[in-house]
Amino acid sequence: MSFFNNLSTLFGPVDKKTRVQQQRKIKFDQKRKKISVPQKPKVSPVKSQVNLSANLAKAKAMNDAMLMEAKAKAREIVVEAKDQALIIRSKAEKKLREQETNFIKQQAYLDKKLDRLDQRLENLDKKEKEIKQKIAGVDELEKKVVERRHQILEKLEKVSGMSKDEAKTLLFNGLEKKFSSEMARFIKDKKADAKLEAEDKAKEILIDSMKFASTEYVAEYTISVVPIPSEEVKGKIIGKSGRNIHSFERLTGVDVDLDASPTEVRLSSFDPVRREIARVALTRLIKDGRIQPVRIEEQVVKAKKEIENTIFKAGKELCHTVGVYNIPSGLVRLLGKFKYRFSYGQSMITHTTEETKLGVKLAHEMKVDVDIVRLGCLFHDIGKVSDELEGNHVDLGVQIAKKYNLPQPVIDCIAQHHEDESFSGAEQMLVYIADAISGARPGARYENHDEYVKRLQAIEEIANSYPEVKKSYAIQAGRELRVLLEPQQSKDDDVEVLAVKIKDQVREKVIIPGSLTVTVIREVRSKSIAH
């Protein structure tokens, strides 16, 4: 046991607890051997002593051999550790030498840089000294020139007997007398040339602006056509006792014409937004096949939401096209309604785009406030898509502009673009010019002259059909109707009632672009002569 204990102490430390456990185990093993091993026959004391000595000698020899082997292994481990330490030390020394070499190189490079900088500073100092010397020489020379000039002027004044100012005045007077006629003729010629050049330049600006803003012609329609696969669909559209068609017309506000063609249905309305909603809803109903009042109401509501989104998107695109951003969503929605609004065959969204580009071009050429002209052109016809039904588009446009707190110059552009008011500035006049050019250029608008005359006559005939009407006049291109009443055949209360009647009848029977203002006038005059 002492042999194994020596081995354990040689190859590693053992704590006290582990040593106690080992001793207990050894004692337990000894007791078990005493119990389990049968007793050997007794041996003589001399023989047992000899065997014990031999065993001890043998154990000691084994103990010495293992001790030597352990010491040899320990020496090998120490030698190997020393070798590893030498390798690590050599690597560290090598890395240190490399760092010292790099540091020496960097130090040498920095020294060279410093030498160059010192040399440059010396050169700059030399140049600075040379410049100062030259400046001093120039100053001296300038003083000499000034002194020489004074000397010459003094000599000239003594010789001529006049001062410098007197000589200058005399010289200019003589030149003025000598060249006065030539100067007048030169000024006159230059004025004429400038006038001609200004006229030519103005023509070039206008032509270039009109070319820059020109757009295609878009026809105006008050009827939308929906194709149908067969005449059986017409029966579904009408429904039992006409309930489907009545429900459709009531919800959309359009007139449905089924007799025009066997393969199509026509939708008629002066409001293009309503007409488009009706067209989309009817197209879906025909495709679905289930045409009934409940289904009609669902499709109309759905079409209204889609058209509202389309209108807002169109207004946003119009603003981005002309370079206007960050305006209220209510104005964007009104501008989007231009997509479905026409004026004498010209799309309002196309006209507004064209006029704004034209006005901005003119504003740049004339060096005026471009932003005022841009906004004035964009919103000049905003009253034509107002939710209010009464009033002309100029007054309605001014109301909208004030509602959204637009700048006063922009409001003036809206109020003055038809010369209803005097122009308050160059920007307002440019908006008027751009609107006139866009509407008057060839191909922009179209309306048959005969139809135009027929419309005016039809409006006047409706008013003249009432017995109390003395005379009626359709003015402002059919946008206003003035009605004069016979005072003996009417009363003051008839004025309001008759205006509403004429308005409703015109809306039912006559196709009018935009709105019509009906003005009824009743006047009573009394005349007496005193003798």
pLDDT at 16 over 80: no
Domain boundaries, the chain: 1-39, 40-153, 214-340, 359-446, 450-521
Return the structure tokens found at 198. Answer: 């200004």
- 403 versus 340: the higher-pLDDT residue is 403
CATH fold of 214-340, please? Ribosomal Protein S8; Chain: A, domain 1 (3.30.1370)
What is the residue-averaged pLDDT of the chain?
78
Instruction: Tell me what pLDDT residue 374 has.
Output: 92
| Mean pLDDT within 418-433 | 85
Sheet holding 469-475, edge to edge: 469-475, 480-485, 517-521
| Mean pLDDT within 220-244 | 79
Count of CB atoms situated within 10 Å of the CB of 150? 10
Q: Percentage of the chain with pLDDT > 70?
A: 76
> Which residues make Cβ contacts (< 8 Å) with residue 340, sequence separation at least 6?
272, 273, 275, 276, 311
User: For 147-204, how does the pLDDT look when each residue is reduced to its tens digit (9 = 90+)?
Assistant: 888 888 777 777 777 776 777 777 777 766 666 666 667 777 777 777 767 666 665 6
Q: HSE on the CB side for 191, CA within 13 Å?
A: 6
> Which residues make Cβ contacts (< 8 Å) with residue 512, sequence separation at least 6?
270, 455, 459, 478, 479, 506
Confidence of residue 372 (pLDDT cuts 50, 70, 90): very high
Confidence of residue 450 (pLDDT cuts 50, 70, 90): low
Instruction: Tell me what pLDDT residue 11 has.
Output: 43
For CA atoms 391, 392, 393, 397, the dihedral sign is negative
Instruction: Tell me what pLDDT residue 346 has.
Output: 66
User: For 46-85, how does the pLDDT look when each residue is reduced to its tens digit (9 = 90+)?
Assistant: 566 667 778 888 888 888 888 888 888 888 898 888 889 8
pTM: 0.47
Instruction: Tell me what pLDDT residue 31 has.
Output: 58
User: For 488-523, how does the pLDDT look when each residue is reduced to its tens digit (9 = 90+)?
Assistant: 877 777 788 888 888 888 877 776 655 678 888 887
pLDDT at 14 over 70: no
Give the distance from CA 164 to its chain's centroid: 66
pLDDT at 217 over 50: no
pLDDT at 482 over 50: yes
Instruction: Give the CATH number of domain 450-521.
Output: 3.30.70.1350
Distance CA 282, CA 265 (A): 9
